[in-house]
Amino acid sequence: MVEEAIEEAPVEAVEGVVGATTEGDESEEEAEEDQSRHKCWVCLEGLSEVGWQACPSCGARYHLSGSGCAIDSLKGCRNCEGAIDNFVKVE
């Protein structure tokens, strides 16, 4: 029995493969999916482009106060315990 050696293609050769995407090829649908991945660290609901706040120390994102989730009862950042008074608002 003769065994054939199978060679793997170098990584550089894979770049031209049909269906492969490169940076900048992101569709509008994929961009929406990326945005919906940002969730409030309190209620785990998706955040919109504006109307949220973030911890400047670690980047954890939250709804704004009075939004209906339990953000108003938060004592500190759920990720790093940073002060809520320092949160940066995106309005």
Q: Please, what CATH class does the domain formed by 32-90 belong to?
A: alpha beta
- The pTM assigned to this predicted structure is 0.60
Residue 90: both structure tokens together = 């995106």
Domain boundaries, the chain: 32-90
Distance between CA atoms of 52 and 64, rounded to whole angstroms? Answer: 5
Distance between CA atoms of 55 and 75, rounded to whole angstroms? Answer: 13
Q: Compute CA 24 distance to the chain's CA centroid, rounded to the nearest angstrom.
A: 17
Residue 43: both structure tokens together = 């209620």
6-48 residue pLDDT tens: 555 554 444 444 554 545 555 555 555 555 579 999 999 999 9
DSSP tag of 46? B
Long-range contacts of 73-77 (CB under 8 A, 24+ apart): 74/42, 77/41
63-88 residue pLDDT tens: 999 988 999 999 999 999 999 999 99
